[in-house]
Each structure stands twice: as C-alpha cells, then as structure tokens.
Amino acid sequence: MVLAVLTVAGTVAAMGLRNAVHCVLALTLGFAGIAMFYLQLGAQFVGFTQILVYVGAVAILAVFAIMMTHNDKPMAPPASSSPWILGGVAAAAVFAVLAWAIVSSTPSTSCQPPQPGATVQQIGDALMHRFVLPLEIMGLLLTAALIGAVVIAMDRREEMK
Amino acid sequence: MSSLQSYLLLSSLLFSIGLAGALTRRNAILVLIGIELMLNAANLNFIAFWRYGPNPEALTGIMFTIFSISIAAAEAAVGLSIILAAYRHCRTTNLDEMNSLKG
Amino acid sequence: MTHMALLMSQLDQIFVLTSHWLLSYLPAALQPLCSAILSVAAIIIAFATLFALTTWLERKGLGRMQNRYGPNRVGPCGLFQPIADGVKSLTKEDIVPITADHAVHYMAPVLLVAASFLGYAVLPIGRNMVLVDLNAGVLFFFAVGSLMELAVFMAGWSSRSKYSLLGAMRAIAQMISYEVPLVLASIVVLMQAGSLSTVAIVNMQASYSGIWPHWFLFTPWGFAGFVLFMIAATAEANRSPFDLPEGESEIIAGYYTEYSGFKFALFFLGEYIGMFATSGMAITLFLGGWSAPFSFLTWVPSYLWFFAKLLTLIAIFIWIRGTLPRLRMDQLMNLAWQFMLPMTLLNLLTAGVWHFIPAGLTRWFVCSTMVVVPFILLSRGLRHRKKFQVRTYRYSQ
C-alpha cells in the first residue's frame, strides 16, 4: 500500500513538476516502484530487467536529451499547454471507465492460484524454443533502432561545411 | 476486491496519469516519458494477470513483458533522437511552437 | 585427523553458527528480520573497515610507487590516517552553493552509497554465507550498478556549475559505454554455468581435478573474460587510468567539485564500495568465490580466501593507478566501443565453441587461438589506423 502511494506520487510529480530534470527523477522513482511491484508479484527477472533498462538506461537517455536541448532551466509558466484542462478531463474519463470495468467485473477464480514458477532457466528455455522468432525479430529491431537513432541524431553540420 | 483487481486498478491509475501527462505537457521530451509511463502501466497489467490469472502456459505474461520493455527502450531511443533532430531545426522543444511543416 | 577437520569446518562456518546461536534467543517470529539485520550490519561493518584500510593502503602504495613515503605520522606507519580523515570530513563545514538544487544535491551521495551497498546482497563471501540467494543474482548486481550512474548525474547537475556538469556528463558517458563490455564479459560465465545465481556459479567452480581448481579463470575464454571484466570494472569505478571525470589536474574534481565535508566522504565511500563490489563479482564469476586455489588448502576458512582474493585485486587496482597514464576521453570511448566490444563478442563465440568440442587438448588449442589471434590483430589494426596530422596552429586574427 505504501509502495502504491509512493509510485503514484512519483508519477504525478513526474507529470506535474516545472523542472524537466526533476520530472525525470520523479519518474525514475515511479519506475523503481513498479519494479518493486514486479518483485512482489514474484517476477524476479522482469523486476531486475526493469531497473536495469528503465532506471539505468531510459532515464539517463531522457536526462541527456534534456541537457542537449537546454531544457534544464525551470520552464516559464504555464507548465502545460493551454488546453490542459481538456487533457486532464480526458485522462480522468479514461480512468473512470477502466475503474468501473475492473470493479464491476467478477473474477473467474476467487481463490489465490499458486505462484507460477518463473526461474531464469524456464525463461531461457521458453526464449530459445517457443519464443525464438520474437527473440530474433527483437534483435533485428534493436539493431535497426540503434543505427536509426545514431543516424537521426548525428550532427549534419560536418557534411555541410 | 481481490488482489488482482487492486493491481489492475493501480495500473489503470498509472496509465491515466501517463495519459494526462502525454496530453497536457508542452515539452516534447516530457510527452515521451508520459508514453513510457503508459507502457510501464501496461506491463504491470501483464504481470498481474500472469500471477493471478488462470495460466495454462506459465510464462506468457513474463515473455510479453520482457519484449515490451525492450521495445519501449528502443522506441525511447529513437523518439529522443527525433526530438534532438527537430530541436536542431526549430531551436525549441515546445510543442506549441512546432506547428509548421515548412522549413 | 577428523577432530582437526571438524574444528576447521566449524571455523569455516563460524559466522553462520554464531548468528544461529544469537538468533536462538529471539522468538521465532522475529528471527528472519533479525537475521537479515544482523547480516546487513556485518556486511556494512566489514566492508567499511575494508574501505578504511584501502584508503591507507592506497596512499602508502602510491607513495612508494612514486618514490616517496605515504602518510607516516598518524600512528605506526600511518595506520590511523583513515581515522584522522574521517574526523576531518565529519567536522568540515558543509558548503552548498546558493544556486544549487538542494534536494537533489542532498540525495545524490545518499543514492550512491545505497546503490553501492546493495550490490553485496548477492555476493557469496563464504560457504553458506550469502545474504540473499536470488535466482537472478547476477542480473540484480548489474541492475543495482546502473543505479550509480543516476546518482552521478544527480550530483553533477544539482551543483549548477560548469565543472560539475561537464564531469558528470563525461562520467555517465564513460559508465554506460563500459557497462556493455562488463555485462558481456560476465555472460560468458553465465553461459558455462547455466544459472544466474551466484551461489550456483561458485559451487560449480569449487571442485578440483588433481590439485588444480575448476575456476573459470583457468580457461582461455575465462581468462580473456576476466581481463575484459577487470578493465571494464576499472572504468565503471572511475579509477585511473579511466579517471578523466574526476581528474584532479583537469576539471578540479569533476562531478563532486561542489561537495565538501561529509558528503564528499560519502562519495569517496560510495566509489570504493562500488569498486569492492565489482571486484567481489569478478571473484565470484572468474576466481571461484570462496574456494581455495589448491585442493590441499581447503582447510583454510572460506571467507579468508574471499578476502585474500579481494585484497589481491585491490592491490592490482592500486598498482595500475600508480603506473598507467590517464586516458583521454576519445581514447576511452574508442577503447570501449572499438576494442572491448568486439573482443567480448568474440569471447562469447569462443565460449560457445568450448562447450561443443569435447574435453581434451583440442579445445584448449582452438579456443586459445580464437582468443589470442583477434586480440593481436585488433590491437595492431587499431593502432595503425590512427593518422598523424600535421600540427597546425590557429592564431586569433
């Protein structure tokens, strides 16, 4: 419960703060909270991967991008664009619909099912036997993303000289 | 309310917070991190269903989440590089001011 | 004979037995919590003492290598120097710049120290002496290591000064560049061991054939992996020759320029603890953890072997610091991406080949050539590719 409050507070702060770097740091707190939830649900591998990828890479990438676009000074008010009330209302409506759907549904299994085993051995087996095609496609996708990101963000001024 | 429902409620709350951020912020990078938050909320959903739902094949939820994390990271990288390139062109990351295709 | 063996095995398990005896005085409900607290306290005390010892050892060692005495005033041979340093850092005035971001400035050293200490949870320090036996222990270690980069950025950015920000950017670029060879070099061991659990990896290396142990260091891919892991660990810990982000002669102190007093000491502590943790992981993965080097030495308690290996690696770190010059930023990056990444990938290939060729002299020969030949070719090729330009001078017009 405390963890849920912390995570939600982190994400609300991430969406509401003025300073972009503070937003990313609060978001990192939210990511760490979600990773703790994964560990609580028994998915060890996914929890540690979440910390490694999101906190260790995506957050740092976002921070680098903020630095390079000179956004590290606090933004002038308003921190959000003019139709911000519409966006907030839309998000609140989405949450209302989802919450109603969740609360009014009857769960199919009323008792707690036993903890499914997810050792790293089993994950590796599944990745190599049943999910080998998504794994290879993922490798291809990551390579394409790597090359694409480098090409797009490359400084073209050297070519124009 | 069973624990599955409480986890689903939490993930839908996080999703709507991310959606609110992505719709209202005017800095392009903060919109992107709102999208990342939405992806994270969906991952939490998957793991909650993997733990509490009926699961004939025990690892589908985890596999989906692992692939989703990798794809989200790749998308964040490419999105941020596009923002950098757009910044070099328009000299601003304010989405309200990036409203002309000519240039 | 058996009496001696019983005594030695009791000495080996003395910490485990002591904690069980202490916990038996508590009610059963409190026992897991108190056992965790006891182990955590023991780890913190042990490694903080090792940190104090290492600061003294480093200053004496560096001093001797540079043909001067190290500290020798405070206590016999300067042994109480760490205490003097501690008192100094605790009593110094804590200066925070006015324009600094106070919350983030405060949190950065705390996060660094917390992340550094978290890594010890999966290191098996002795037989049956691991804090948590996680199924994905090695992954946990690398995940926690990546938290340190965020702390470095927080430190550099919150100080709002040019030197800090520059140092932080350089440090993060270096750390994320070297994280890739670090993880790839350890994957070789994971391939061979078939498990991410540190206890399983050490148990696989704790057997002997004749008098030689089955450490992964004594295989071609293991040796290459160990060397690559140690180079990447030196870069991760921002130590010489990779200490450009904190180079004292270049950007004052890099990302902790604006820190003084206790927070500076916390940064120091965090860096060294991180260095010990990565060395501990290298020992677990490649050097056989707590197992003895020869089969006739197994009577020595296991934790003594772990600390002996740790001290050897620390001595090597200090030796390298005193010997090699600092690498420039572009040289550093080139080393990571153009040399170490291909070498780690080739190492992976070698380990795979090792697994499939049946045991014998053939696989030693094949795998050794697969490791040595690309190393020679790559290092010579990269050296010859540098074009030396005519030196031009630009004068202001």
Mutate to test the interface with C, among A36, A49, A53, A63 (most CBs of C within 10 A): A63
Q: Where are the domains of chain A?
A: 1-75, 119-161
Per-residue pLDDT at C15 = 81
- Which residues in chain B are closer than 8 Å to A131, comparing Cβ atoms? 63
Per-residue pLDDT at A21 = 85
Average pLDDT of the residues of chain B = 85
Q: Does C195 touch chain A (CB under 8 A)?
A: yes
In order along its 161 residues, chain A shows pLDDT tens digits of: 788 888 888 888 888 777 888 888 999 999 999 999 998 888 889 999 999 999 988 999 998 888 887 776 666 555 555 667 788 888 889 889 988 888 887 766 555 666 667 788 888 888 888 888 999 999 999 999 999 988 888 766 554 44
Please say whether the structural domain A1-75 has been given the CATH code 1.20.120.1200: yes
Neighbours of chain B (3+ CB pairs under 8 A): A
What's the domain range around B8? 3-90
Q: Does A107 touch chain B (CB under 8 A)?
A: yes
Is the CB of A52 less than 8 angstroms away from the CB of C139?
A: yes
The pLDDT confidence band at residue C337, using thresholds 50, 70 and 90, is confident
Least confident of A89-98, A103-112, B19-28, C185-194: A103-112
Is the CB of B23 less than 8 angstroms away from the CB of A87?
A: yes
pTM of the model: 0.88
More confident residue, B71 or C393: B71
Q: Is residue B78 part of a domain?
A: yes
Please name the residue ranges forming H helices in chain A: 2-16, 20-40, 44-50, 59-68, 84-103, 120-129, 132-153, 157-160
Reply yes or no on whether the pLDDT at C272 is more than 50.
yes
Q: What is the mean pLDDT of residues C197-205?
A: 89
More confident residue, A71 or C97: C97
Per-residue pLDDT at C138 = 92
Per-residue pLDDT at A145 = 93
Is the CB of A60 less than 8 angstroms away from the CB of C172?
A: yes
Per-residue pLDDT at A112 = 63
Q: Is residue B25 part of a domain?
A: yes
Least confident of C125-139, C362-376, C378-392: C378-392
Per-residue pLDDT at C246 = 67
Per-residue pLDDT at C379 = 79
Q: Is residue B64 part of a domain?
A: yes
Average pLDDT of the residues of chain C = 83
Question: Which H, E and C letters describe chain C, residue by residue?
Answer: CHHHHHHHHHHHCHHHHHHHHHHCCCCCCCHHHHHHHHHHHHHHHHHHHHHHHHHHHHHHHHHHHCCCCCCCCCCHHHCCHHHHHHHHHHHCCCCCCCCCCHHHHHHHHHHHHHHHHHHHHHCCCCCCCCCCCCCCHHHHHHHHHHHHHHHHHHHHHHCCCHHHHHHHHHHHHHHHHHHHHHHHHHHHHHHHHCCCCHHHHHHHHCCEECCEECCHHHCHHHHHHHHHHHHHHHHHCCCCCCCHHHCCCCCCCHHHCCCCCHHHHHHHHHHHHHHHHHHHHHHHHHCCCCCCCCHHHCCCCHHHHHHHHHHHHHHHHHHHHHHCCCCCHHHHHHHHHHHHHHHHHHHHHHHHHHHHCCCCHHHHHHHHHHHHHHHHHHHHHHHHCCCCCCCCCCCCC
- Which residues in chain C are closer than 8 Å to A45, comparing Cβ atoms? 135-136, 139
Per-residue pLDDT at A161 = 42
Write the pLDDT tens digit of every residue in B77-103.
999 999 888 888 877 767 767 766 665
More confident residue, C152 or A72: C152
Q: Is residue B98 part of a domain?
A: no
Chain C residue at shortest CA distance from A56: C146
Reply yes or no on whether the pLDDT at C106 is more than 80.
yes
- Give the CATH number for residue B80: 1.10.287.3510
Q: Does A146 touch chain B (CB under 8 A)?
A: yes
Per-residue pLDDT at C390 = 56
Per-residue pLDDT at C396 = 56
Q: Does A108 touch chain B (CB under 8 A)?
A: yes
Mutate to test the interface with A, among B25, B38, B99 (most CBs of A within 10 A): B25
Q: Does A27 touch chain C (CB under 8 A)?
A: no
Reply yes or no on whether the pLDDT at C101 is more than 50.
yes
Reply yes or no on whether the pLDDT at C11 is more than 70.
yes
What's the number of domains chain B is made of? 1
Reply yes or no on whether the pLDDT at C46 is more than 70.
yes
Is the CB of B62 less than 8 angstroms away from the CB of A53?
A: no
Chain A residue at shortest CA distance from C175: A56
